[in-house]
Structure 1
Amino acid sequence: MRALFVIAIAALLSACASKEDPSRIRQIAQDGALRVHPGLLGQPVPPELQALAVVSPASGTVSEASAMRMDEQGLRTQRSVYFDLNKADIKADYASVLAAHGQFLARNPQRRVRVEGHADERGSPAYNQRLGLKRAQNVRATLLGHGVQAAQISVKSWGKSKPKLTGRNEEAWAENRRADIVYEKED
């Protein structure tokens, strides 16, 4: 009987195993339902979120594709961009998140953000400082590409000094390899 139980557990674990890069899989502890814009999850966007059209900063026109926008809650919950080990290039997974922040900032030129780059604890302090800065600069460049004014965005590198998750394992290191978009308070 015990052997069957062990086999069943092993089969269940192997069925749940993913061939995807483990650094791209995130588990977030939360209370209640996670509030993420449905468009980011590939689900249909509710009509109440489609009602407000977005003006394209590049052309100044309203397009059908830009009619979908991230709601205010989505802008509050999707503020971190995660990176691979020793990398500063932005993964395609974060294109829609950065586009939503970029469109919001382009429509609200009075709003200011600070992009804070972080690194995990591995590597020298100087290396982690440079890597955090490069990550923040890449997020800034992406936001600028969405029509945000340069004066709206500042960058800061924290290196490894402000971990999001403490620990000496891959889960903690993956959480700490990030850049955060921090909205400054309005005057």
Structure 2
Amino acid sequence: MRATLPATLLLSALLTACASTSDIPVSKHISQSGALRVHPGLLGQPVPAELQGEGAPASAVAKATDDAPIKMDETGLRTQRSVYFDLDNAAVKAEFEPALQAHGRYLASHPAAQVRIEGNADERGPAGYNARLGQKRADNVRQAIISNGAAEKQVRIKSLGELRPKLKGHDEESWAENRRADVVYEKED
């Protein structure tokens, strides 16, 4: 009972401090704005002009196949460089198609630019299997980029298998982060 008393007091003090809104203008209170919303850019969606920050370039916009704009930065698409895969799978998920379309269009309009697709796998499975799986993942991403306008000579692949994990843990979160193919720009205009 004694061990929980300091924890209870600490929690109580923390909640009291968090509940204080006297330093925050009423116009900024969450309760005043209604339901919480997630910024479209965090979901990979186009960001409306009224939500873009002042530093965001408005000039570079590419069209997706459904004519919905994909926001680009000054030197091409940089917001989505990793494509994630399911366990023991090399199929590109539909959610990554807009980003791969934008990379393909960027490369098509910049013939001197080159990318390397690095295929990765999580640590589970034999090294040879993981190397082959990384190769398949990289090749599928390469084909998606080429089918969207990039020249074959602009896109090369490399399998890293399990050798370069993004997260070094031994849990599902780490494994999911490591099942990926990364688009690495080697040469740009």
Shorter-chain TM-score tier: 0.5 to 0.7
Percent identity over the alignment?
48
- Specify the alignment match of 1:168 in structure 2: 170
Shift of 1:125: 0.5
Given the superposition, is the C-alpha separation of residues 45 and 142 from structure 1 closer, same or farther in structure 2, using an over 3 Å criterion?
Answer: farther
2:118 is the counterpart of 1:113 = no
- Specify the alignment match of 2:48 in structure 1: 44
CA distance in 1, matches of 2:57, 2:66: 13
Shift of 1:74: 7.3
Q: Which amino acid aligns with 1:82?
A: Y
Q: Does structure 2 conserve the Cα–Cα contact (< 8 Å) formed by 1:75 and 1:101? A: yes
- Specify the alignment match of 2:160 in structure 1: 158
5+ residue gaps, structure 2:
5-38
Which whole-Å deviations, capped at 9, do the CAs of 1:75-102 have from their partners, x for residues lacking one?
2332000000000001111111111111
- Higher mean displacement: 35-44 or 167-176: 35-44
TM-score, normalising length from structure 2? 0.67
Given the superposition, is the C-alpha separation of residues 166 and 66 from structure 1 closer, same or farther in structure 2, using an over 3 Å criterion?
Answer: same
TM-score, normalising length from structure 1? 0.67
Q: Does structure 2 conserve the Cα–Cα contact (< 8 Å) formed by 1:37 and 1:70? A: no
CA distance in 1, matches of 2:41, 2:129: 35
Q: Which has the higher strand share?
A: 2
CA distance in 2, matches of 1:124, 1:170: 18
Q: Which amino acid aligns with 1:90?
A: V
**Number of positions where the alignment pairs a residue of Structure 1 with one of Structure 2:** 149
Q: Which amino acid aligns with 1:137?
A: D
Which whole-Å deviations, capped at 9, do the CAs of 1:121-176 have from their partners, x for residues lacking one?
00000100000000000000000110100000000000001111001100110010
* Superposition map of 1:55-66 within 5 A: 65=67
Which whole-Å deviations, capped at 9, do the CAs of 1:26-52 have from their partners, x for residues lacking one?
xxxxxxxxx995893254256975645
Runs of 4+ that moved beyond 4 A? 35-39, 45-56, 66-69
The alignment yields a C-alpha RMSD, in angstroms, of: 3.2
CA distance in 2, matches of 1:126, 1:171: 23
Q: Which has the larger radius of gyration?
A: 2
- Specify the alignment match of 2:79 in structure 1: 77
